Chain A
Amino acid sequence: MTGPRASWLGRLPQIALGGVLILALVLGVATLSARPAWQSLAPGIALVRLSLTHSGARNCRDRTADELAKLPKNMRSPQVCERRRAPVRVEMDVDGHSVLAADLPPSGLAGSGPSRIYHRIELPAGSYRLDLRLSDDPATQGFEYVAAFDVDLHPAESLAVDFDAASGGFFLH
């Protein structure tokens, strides 16, 4: 017999040995493809995630009668506002201890977008009181939105704290 078939038939020992070596490599790869397991979060820990998107107030003033008169009728908006929004102040306490206190700048090059935050807090499983406060207008004293939640966290639980001004402020998923 001649030709390519003969050439590889004559190399059956190499094919067998090569096959065994590559199979060993594949099995090694398959093993490392899932083992050892990675402990991402320690046992007994739960995760609280605070995430919100909310726009801060704009600095606005009323237009004068003269200003309004100079504008075309279809553009006579009673107020004129700066493009840049105010930062949003967010605070969070766990059992009275502050875990977050931040002024969230507005997004966008001109600062005209909403303020955003995504914050992770790892806590041992157990019961906690979460106090949350948000202010979107620096001109106002105190916080416009305040909420408190009593939560019972289980190991590996993921608790999401969200915010929606239209539905009253902070809420839990």
Chain B
Amino acid sequence: MTAGPRAVLRHGFDRLERILDRAFGPDWNPLAQLGPLGWFLFWIVAVTGIYLFIFFDTGVTDAYASVTWLSADHWWHAGVARSLHRYASDLMVVVMFTHLIREWAMDRYRGRRWFSWITGVPVIWFVYLSGITGYWLVWDDLAQYVALTSTELLDSLGIFAEPIARNFLAPELLSSRFFTLMVFLHIAIPLLLLLLMWIHIQRITSARTRPPRVLGAITLGALVVGSVAMPAPLGRAADLATVPTRVDLDWFLLSLYPVIESLPAGAIWAGVAGFTVLLAGLPWLPPRREGAAAAVFLDHCNGCARCVADCPYAAITLVPRSDGLPFAHEVEVNAARCVACGICMGACPSSTPFRRSGELITGIDLPDRPLAALRADAIAASGALAGAGRVLTLACAHGAAGAAPGRIILPCVAMAPPSLVDFIISRGLADGVAVAGCAERDCFNRLGVAWTRARFARERDPYLRARVPRERVLTVWAGPSERPRLEAELSAFAGRLATLPAYENLRPLGDDEAAATPTREGGAR
């Protein structure tokens, strides 16, 4: 990992997440569930909003009266729903920006993953617009402040036939129809937000839109308790004959308002445009260098679709066979979506390093790090191992492992087919294999940890063969700040291996296998 603000931030996140791992458990760690939590909070806001709409009146005086009624007289259901509506919206802002900063820190926004980043930018503004239009409806002094400041800013664009702020000059100028319009906007904008959120997850497979049930229940429970303990405040009724001087501002959704008051409107619009353009342009400032997209070798592909199922980025699709071989389908790689993580290669049943006849080619391979080179790397890495308890480590480039003798760094550990582990042990290249992946809570390539676990547990094709002695295989999930733990676990593993009797099913490396040469970049380090 390169040094710099990103590396510092990433280590910071990793350390914080390790603490939360201990508190919640890796599978319920909220920092690894920010996207699903954002969706969950959206639905809380949507459901409570629908409930509040039952009691809400859209009139100049009726609006405030209805909110007062539901907040005071019916606090125990409608009032709690209003507080939930507000606090879930605020928490959504927190989750959204933490998600944004974390994805930047994890470097998961550039290269061929740009789409998810770009489509997230308008989500930010639609969250704000949804919140602002919501505050307007309450029609208390905060709503009046928001209405005045917003319309004055909008009027500075000069695109409206008559200044919208004129609606708020005096009480008699404001009509109930204006509230009907605002209700419409407060429904339409969140619906558009939902559409944008759906687009946001289109270029990933198995998108997580629901947090783990227990985490969801904890979050909802905490929001309910918080809503009862600290009901959302309601200001005085709006009075257009006065001007709000001191308002209880929501610093999550309305934090821009003091800035709007302090700067010229032109600077605000320029800032909004500049921020949006800069944020949208980040994936290219600078772009990420990625390996060439996975390539399909039809002679070795029977269209089994395991790579289609395992690809985390929806980059592989099944299409009708084109080469006349007696299979219904073949796979096709969308190079614009492929991040060259290699998970597809690890999923391919043809990816077996045991093949001795002819060149080692698999059904779907990485041009920059083919299976043949991976096998050669393993053979070369074994040369650096000596003594009892030799451990060959297949390590994730985004985890804790650094370069070391007997260690092969991969873009994702799920790139290594389970048969490679079998090959290393059965050929005597090492006494055991350690797979050192990303932190358990969150894989850099989304699904690499899950697929590796499932393959080793014989729950997902391709299985790790039953003949592979499990005491000779170690999996360690460790984030970038956990190098000492990783090294300690590797050392302990080596110690355990040293006490084991010699592996009885050893078959020496064939000359044709040994003749292969390692890649320059992927060679043993």
Interface residues of A (CB under 8 A from B): 8, 11, 14-15, 17-19, 21-23, 25-27, 29-43, 45-47, 49, 51, 53, 107, 113-114, 116-118, 120, 155-158, 160, 162, 173
Contact = CB atoms under 8 A, between A and B. Distances in A.
Contact of B242 (A17, A21, A53, A156): A156
B405 interface: no
A35 B250 CA distance: 7
A40 B87 contact: no
B23 A14 contact: yes
Interface stretch (B200-208, B216-224, B337-345, B494-502): B216-224
A38 B214 contact: no
Contacts of B222: 19, 22-23, 25-26
B245 A39 contact: yes
A40 B145 contact: yes
Given A11-B25, A25-B222, 5 more contacts: A30-B227, A41-B245, A157-B243, A158-B240, A162-B169
Contacts of A30: 83, 87, 90, 226-227, 229-230, 232
Contacts of B229: 27, 30
B250 A34 contact: yes
Interface stretch (B51-59, B157-165, B353-361, B462-470): B157-165
Nearest to B89: A33
Nearest to A34: B248
B250 A116 contact: no
A41 B243 contact: yes
Contacts of A157: 241-243
A37 B248 contact: yes
Contact of A160 (B24, B170, B250): B170
B215 interface: yes
Contacts of B225: 23, 26
Interface string B404-422: 0000000000000000000
A107 B25 contact: no
B91 interface: yes
B161 A15 contact: no
Contact of A173 (B162, B170, B232, B251): B170
A37 B163 contact: no
Nearest to A21: B23
Nearest to A26: B226
Contacts, number: 146
Contacts of B232: 30, 33-34
B230 A27 contact: yes
Contacts of A173: 169-170, 172-173
Nearest to B86: A33
Given A33-B232, A118-B163, A39 B246 contact: yes
Contacts of A156: 242-245
A83 B83 CA distance: 54
Contact of A37 (B91, B172, B223, B246): B246
B257 interface: yes
A76 B64 CA distance: 55
A51 B166 contact: yes
Contact of A14 (B28, B94, B162): B28
A27 B221 CA distance: 12
Contacts of A27: 226, 229-230
9 contacts: A23-B222, A23-B225, A30-B87, A32-B250, A36-B249, A38-B249, A53-B166, A107-B158, A158-B243
Contacts of B226: 23, 26-27, 29-30
Contacts of B219: 22
B28 A18 contact: yes
B30 interface: yes
In the complex, the 10 A-B pairs of residues with the closest C-beta atoms, listed nearest first: A173-B170, A26-B226, A160-B169, A34-B248, A23-B222, A38-B249, A22-B222, A118-B163, A41-B245, A30-B230
B309 interface: no
A40 B24 contact: no
B169 A51 contact: yes
Contacts of A17: 23-24
Interface string B32-61: 000000000000000000000000000000
Nearest to B37: A22
Nearest to A46: B243
